[in-house]
């Protein structure tokens, strides 16, 4: 399930702070720009309702889920809301195993090789390298030499259209995009402009 979305455009929209009243127009403009993976962090206002609405709008065409998932009950809540992706800031094996047991996609955050291998052993589908500002492209290159080649490394934190090249050259397979894509208060039109800039930057890197 995950690979088809990564192949289309391996950029995850992180909609931290989005409200249930704006999620649908923002989700639609992201879809129109080519995005197929979207997460609503659970520290957003009424995140489960936003996931319900986003899933109703795009769930048959996109991978929709939650970010900042840290507890087992939250995994169950997201699944009940229709989410199919669980993104965490950390690599708790219990959260990963609960995610996989529920039939969802697991994208835990890791910051060391030990955490990366532990997350994979627990069943993680991809690895969220967080925070990317701290790790940098040099670390990604070193990890890429030892981690299974089929595992996508997705840096998150401080990613912009202008700094993607170094990460991709080092072995990144995509990115999680936060405030450079969406910040609370942005209109759908603003988000659309940012989304198109990221999508165009990715396509230019792969030519």
- The catalytic residue positions are 39, 128
- List CB contacts of 166: < 8 A, sequence separation 6 or more: 137
Q: Yes or no: say if 95 and 70 are a contact pair by the CB < 8 Å rule.
A: yes
Dmax (CA) for the chain in angstroms is: 44
135 burial via Cβ count (<10 Å: 0-12, 13-18, 19+): buried
Interhelix angle 72-80/93-101, rounded to 10 degrees, is 30
- Give one word for 44, left, alpha or beta, with left for phi > 0 and alpha for psi -120 to 50: beta
CA–CA dist 185, 25 (Å, integer):
13
Neighbours of 53 (CB within 10 A): 22
102 by DSSP, 3-state: which?
Answer: coil
């Amino acid at each position: 399930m995950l690979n088809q979305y990564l192949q289309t455009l391996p950029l995850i929209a992180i909609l931290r702070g989005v409200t249930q009243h704006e999620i649908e127009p923002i989700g639609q403009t992201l879809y129109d720009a080519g995005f197929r993976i979207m997460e609503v962090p659970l520290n957003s206002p009424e995140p489960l309702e936003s996931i319900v609405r986003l899933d109703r709008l795009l769930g048959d065409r996109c991978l929709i889920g939650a970010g900042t998932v840290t507890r087992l009950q939250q995994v169950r809540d997201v699944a009940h809301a229709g989410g199919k992706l669980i993104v965490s800031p950390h690599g708790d094996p219990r959260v990963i195993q609960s995610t996989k047991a529920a039939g969802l996609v697991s994208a835990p955050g890791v910051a060391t090789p030990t955490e990366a291998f532990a997350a994979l052993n627990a069943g993680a589908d991809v690895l969220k390298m967080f925070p990317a500002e701290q790790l940098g492209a040099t670390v990604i290159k070193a990890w890429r030499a030892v981690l299974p080649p089929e595992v996508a490394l997705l840096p998150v934190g401080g990613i912009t259209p202008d700094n993607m090249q170094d990460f991709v050259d080092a072995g990144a397979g995509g990115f999680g995009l936060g405030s450079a894509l969406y910040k609370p208060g942005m209109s759908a039109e603003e988000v659309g402009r940012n989304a198109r800039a990221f999508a165009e930057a990715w396509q230019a890197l792969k030519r």
